Amino acid sequence: MRILVILRRVLDPAGIVAHRRLRRLFINREEYLIQPGDHSALEAALRIKDLGGAEVVVVSGQPEPDDDTVCRGLAMGADGAIYLSGEGFAGADDGVAARLLQAVVDRLGGADLVLVGMTTLDTAQAQLGPRLAGALGWPQIVGAWSVEIVDGRVRAVRRDGDDYVVVETDLPAVVTVPGRALEPRYPDGARLVNVYRGEGGMGEAVLRWDVADLLHPEGLVPLLENRGRDFPPERELGVRVEGTTEEVAQAVAEALRARLRGA
């Protein structure tokens, strides 16, 4: 069984400050981390590997060199990695990413399962998994809190409101995993050293592919158009109301009426 895990990196929000009055973003500390959902997806793949055996391959890519993402995936236990690079990533959206990943699956000769984070930390979008499933023509499970392979089918537990339900589908399939659904394991120390040194066969474990070899130029044209960035208005200070329950309720009602009249 071959499992592909999509790993994407994002700026650590702890190092970003949004100044509403100046309408600017300040990056005080430029540090990157793996998308939490993708991290959980990798842990789900490694648990399947631990239980029944599987080949886990991580797929990542950025416009600029970024070895840390794939190296961490290998150090955690992945068997191989594919790093995509090239000018096609400039302005790429989830539509372009889905087409690229479809081309990756075709070039590999197929896969049994693709795992990816459900949403992105920076934009809160949840398009990549469904778009990839549509491009491949595979069934999909969205929002899986646990993933396992049972009798040649993928079984997942997902939330349905306040309840949890068990769903199954045939392989091959695409499964998206929410952020922090599973606690990722720590990379093995010796394996981490071998990955960065390129020892123990780790240097040959990373395949580097140019996106220009996977898609024609028209396939790299994004669907989204960036027209700029805007900020919400500064928050207004509220008014503290004290008194009995009836007095507070009356004050809230009057405030709502005044706001509605102003609208």
pLDDT at residue 204 in the model: 67
pLDDT at residue 136 in the model: 96
Residue 54: CB atoms within 10 A of its CB come to 19
User: Does residue 247 belong to any structural domain of this protein?
Assistant: no
pLDDT at residue 194 in the model: 83
User: Does residue 56 belong to any structural domain of this protein?
Assistant: yes
User: Does residue 250 belong to any structural domain of this protein?
Assistant: no
Radius of gyration, alpha carbons of the chain? 23
Among 29, 37, 43, 45, which Cα is nearest to 9's?
A: 37
Distance (Å) of CA 68 to CA 64, 83, 194, 211: 12, 11, 13, 19
User: Does residue 258 belong to any structural domain of this protein?
Assistant: no
User: Does residue 231 belong to any structural domain of this protein?
Assistant: no
CA 101 to chain centre: 14
* Contact status, residue 129 vs residue 174, Cβ threshold 8 Å: yes
pLDDT at residue 192 in the model: 83
DSSP-assigned letter for residue 27: E
- Can you read off the two tokens belonging to residue 2? 């071959």
Torsion sign over Cα 194, 195, 197, 200: positive
pLDDT at residue 216 in the model: 86
Please provide residue 79's backbone torsions phi and psi, each rounded to the nearest 5 degrees: -85, -25
- How far apart CA 209 and CA 54 sit, in angstroms, is 23
Domain of 143, in residue numbers: 2-220
Which residue matches tokens 């549509």? 134
Confirm whether pTM is higher than 0.85: no
- Can you read off the two tokens belonging to residue 68? 């840390």
Task: Indicate which CATH number applies to the domain containing 13.
Answer: 3.40.50.620
The pLDDT averaged over each successive group of 10 residues in the chain (263 residues) is 92 79 79 90 96 91 72 90 81 86 94 94 86 96 95 93 92 94 88 78 76 86 78 76 90 87 69
- How far apart CA 145 and CA 156 sit, in angstroms, is 7
- How far apart CA 142 and CA 130 sit, in angstroms, is 8
pLDDT at residue 3 in the model: 96
Q: How many domains does one find in the chain? A: 1
User: Does residue 58 belong to any structural domain of this protein?
Assistant: yes
DSSP-assigned letter for residue 54: -
CA 189-144-142 angle, to 5 degrees, is: 125
User: Does residue 227 belong to any structural domain of this protein?
Assistant: no
